[in-house]
Amino acid sequence: MADALEPEQLTTYFALMESASLLQHAVEQQLRSQSDLSHVQFQLLAKLAGTEGRMTMTELADGVVYSRSGLTHQAGLLEKEGLVTRAPSPDDQRATLVTITDAGRALVGRVLPGHIEVARRLLFEPLSDDDLRHLGDIMGRVRDHMRAQPPRSTAARRRRPPRAKERPAKG
C-alpha cells in the first residue's frame, strides 16, 4: 500500500482536518444565530453572489459538493425562502438556471460580516502576514488540484458501476 505518509504529513493532515472541523462548526453556529442558513446554504448563496448571480445546478454543485438530489433539496429550500429563483436555461432546456435574488444578496451582505469575524478570530488571529500569504498560496493550489481531481460530486453518477451492495447492513 505504498509507504506511509511522512509523519509531518500525517500531523499536518490531522491539524488541517481538525481546524477545518472546528472552524466549520463555529461558522455554522454563527450563521444560525444570525440567519436561518446552514453553512452549505450560505456557501451556495455566496458562490452565486460572487459569480455574476446565476449558474446551473451542475456548476453550482462544483466545490460545494453533494449529490444532485442534495443540491436540489437545498436549492429548493433557498427558493422557498425567496433567496434564489430557478428557471430553465435558454441555452439548454435540460439545465436549470439558479439566480440569486436581491433578498439573497441582501442576506449574504447581512451575514457576511459576522461570518468573517469568526474566520478572523479562529483562523487568522494567530497568523502573521507571512503565514497568510503562504496559506493562501498553498490552499489555492490545493483547491485547484482537488477540483481537477476526477471524482467530482456531479460526476458521481457516471462513474458508478452497478456494483452490488458493498455495505449490507452494518448493525
Rounded Cα–Cα distance for residues 21 and 14 (Å): 10
Let me know: does 40 contact 47? Beta carbons within 8 Å. no
Taking CB under 8 A as the criterion, which residues in 83-142 touch its own copies?
112-114, 116-117, 119-127, 131-136, 138-142
CA dihedral 133, 134, 139, 145 (to 10 degrees): 120
**Rounded to an integer, what distance in angstroms lies between the CA atom of residue 2 and that of residue 18?**
25
Beta bridge partners of 96: 88
Taking CB within 5 to 8 Å according to partner kind, which of DNA, its own copies, none is near residue 121? its own copies
Our finding on whether 159 is near its own copies (CB under 8 A) is no
Within positions 111 to 140, which residues make up the interface with DNA, using CB under 7 A?
Answer: none
Nearer to DNA, 9 or 51 (CB): 51
By the criterion CB under 7 A, which residues form the site for DNA? Answer: 25, 38, 40-41, 56-58, 65-77, 86, 89, 92-96, 153-154, 156-158, 160, 165, 170-171
